[in-house]
Amino acid sequence: MALKSTIFKAELDVADIDRGYYASHALTLARHPSETDERMMVRLLAFALHADPQLVFGRGLSTEDEADLWQLDLTGRIERWIDVGLPDERDIRKACGRAPDVHVLAYGGRAVDLWWESVRERVARQARLTVRDVPVDASQALAGLAQRSMRLQCTIQDGQVWMADDQTSVPVELRALQVRDLDR
């Protein structure tokens, strides 16, 4: 018998002072049986970092050839592709061919450094690509915020990120590994 996804509900208030974006989002996250709370919360962080009314979660780990999050225009064309974790460099290149704006939000501590060392040279020419690392202490602290029903606030100012519930605030200092080159 196949295991079913666990449904999580999140009320997420985003105050992105850097972009001038302020909105509340009622989100439903389906956590695949093999997905950890840490990965799910990094997906939620990715949503907050790129929050937009058109941004949606992909179908999840079991669906290949689909982003963890993506933003489509009104014609169905992919505008933004966001992957969480340590994707294969072929998948990154394929995403860069499909979307003008591609983001990878990597997490996993030392595994991120090893992964980045193995893919950096092969993806360096991808002008549409931004890769950032979520420090392991932050991703694990985010996992501590996971509940079936969540009310969270995310504040982004001067590149600093804070995710909080009513009792805990988690600072997230993202480390840029590669930044999209708008001039190429």
Q: List, run by run, the mean pLDDT of 10-residue segments along the chain (184 residues).
A: 83 97 96 92 98 89 78 93 95 95 96 97 94 97 97 96 97 95 58
Task: Output the pLDDT for position 61.
Answer: 59
168: in domain: yes
If one counts the domains in the chain, the total is 1
Residue whose C-alpha is closest to residue 98's, from 120, 119, 71: 71
- Check residue 14 and give its pLDDT: 98
Residue 183 covered by a domain: no
pLDDT at 82: 97
Write out the residue range of the structural domain in which residue 42 sits.
6-178
pTM of the entire predicted model: 0.94
120-125 long-range contacts (CB < 8 A, ≥24 apart) are 120/177, 120/178, 122/89, 122/93, 123/89, 123/92, 123/93, 123/178, 124/178
Quote the pLDDT of residue 163.
98
Domain membership flag for residue 1: no
Asked whether residue 150 is domain-assigned, the answer is yes
Please indicate, yes or no, if residue 65 is contained in any of the structural domains. yes
* CATH number for position 81: 3.10.640.10
184 falls within a domain: no
